[in-house]
Amino acid sequence: MNLFKCEWLEQKLFAWSFGGLLVFITAFFWAPSRDGLEAVYALAFFIPILFVFSLSKMRLYFSCGWYFASALIYAIYAGLTTLWSAEPDIGYFTLQVVVLTVWLFGVTWLASLKEINIDVLMDRLIIVGILVGISLLVVFYLKNDVTSRLAGWSVLRNPNSVGAAFGVLTFFAYFKWLESKSIKGDVKYFVAIILLAIPLLMSQSRGAILALFVVAAMSLLYRWPSPKKIFLHVFAAGIVFIGVLIKLDDLLVMFSSRLDDGYRLTVWTEIFSRAVSEHFWFGVGMEKEGRIIIPDVDVFNHAHNAWLDIFYRTGFIGLVLGLIHLFYLLSKFSPSKQLLPLYLWLLYGCLTAMVDSRGFFWQIDVRWFMYWIPAGLITALQILSHPSFSCNQRIPEQSMETR
């Protein structure tokens, strides 16, 4: 293939993968299953990125330091632990390392050629979330009692996943409302907050609701609202309080089954005890379909706490490597317009992962949306802001008109 054709194809693949980035991120809400989500990732992002790399024989020179290294060291080690698990599957976890690597490098490469506008990304997710949320509510409650926990039919199948995902979108709408400088924007995002908060509340996901309050409070520290919006906060809190008092009996009936810990304390205690006494340093090893059997309680897919799950499956070494990546990202925190919502998104994901999640290194699912998606975007924007950043990009000059 001559140089002209190669460059032309590169431009097309760049446009494909840049558009595919948005398609992939929104697919967490509309993809029919985890397999469907992985297919979207492969077609919209993974394959075109690999094609570009192979066509241009590209060498990327990022001043990335620990942004990439800490993530990939953790992922590679976690993948290797499958070798001493009860059901080793090195091929599966090697693929997950490749998938994660392409995501981190690919999103940074795309951002180096054209700005990834986080405001636009949040707006698109809000729109998709409203449409999906309304359809979820209608379809689910046509067949179920209104006191039932909202569940879905897509990647967001169980109530905790619904709550976690819609908590992110509710935060986005709230953050955009805080930043809005016009009446039109205020009204638009206020309505979005209400529409997105309904699926969150109907999921009865306590961890997601509490995490939303935490990140919303933190956003106030960096985006202090006008007196008018402060009044609206107080007014809304008063309305909610009065509504709770009026409907207290109905709410107690709805949430009565949510007042216990769902065996979490028992699960956490048992798994922590096993990890410390039997598999402290290296863990039991990663499995594709891991099961945790706790006699007289139940069989669980994970530890219902991401950090405990990491400790149990990859040991103290894996836990430290995972925390190094997280703490390195947090150590570079910036309250800039682009980065602040991403950091709060990441924090929200980490908080929800403390009460219902497996470890972060696994196949693409809702945990990716909570951790690796914001982590990848943060990595890309932080690297590009570094004064010594360089990339020997080979996209020809005419394609830069798309900037």
Partners of 294 in the β-ladder:
298
pLDDT in tens, 15-26: 888 899 999 999
For range 191-218, the mean pLDDT:
93
Task: Check whether 76 has a pLDDT greater than 90.
Answer: yes
Q: How far apart are CA 397 and CA 401, in angstroms?
A: 8
**What does the DSSP 8-state code read for residue 46?**
I
Q: What is the pLDDT of residue 64?
A: 57
For residue 302, count other CB atoms closer than 10 A to its CB: 21
Quick check: 257 pLDDT over 60? Answer: no
For the chain, which residues make up each domain, given as ranges?
1-114+320-353+366-403
| Residue-wise pLDDT tens digits, 295-336 | 777 777 778 889 999 999 999 999 999 999 999 999 999 889
Burial 322-338 (b: 16+ CB within 10 A, else e): bebbbebbeebeeeeeb
Confidence of residue 260 (pLDDT cuts 50, 70, 90): low
Q: Is 91 left (phi over 0), alpha (psi -120 to 50) or beta?
A: alpha
pLDDT in tens, 79-138: 999 999 988 999 999 999 999 999 998 998 888 888 899 999 999 999 999 999 999 999
Is residue 378 within 8 A of residue 103, CB to CB? The reply is no
Question: Is the model's pTM score more than 0.75?
Answer: yes
Q: CA-CA distance, 136 to 151, in Å (whole number)?
A: 8
**What whole-number distance in Å separates Cα of residue 275 and Cα of residue 291?**
15
**pLDDT for 194 beyond 60:** yes
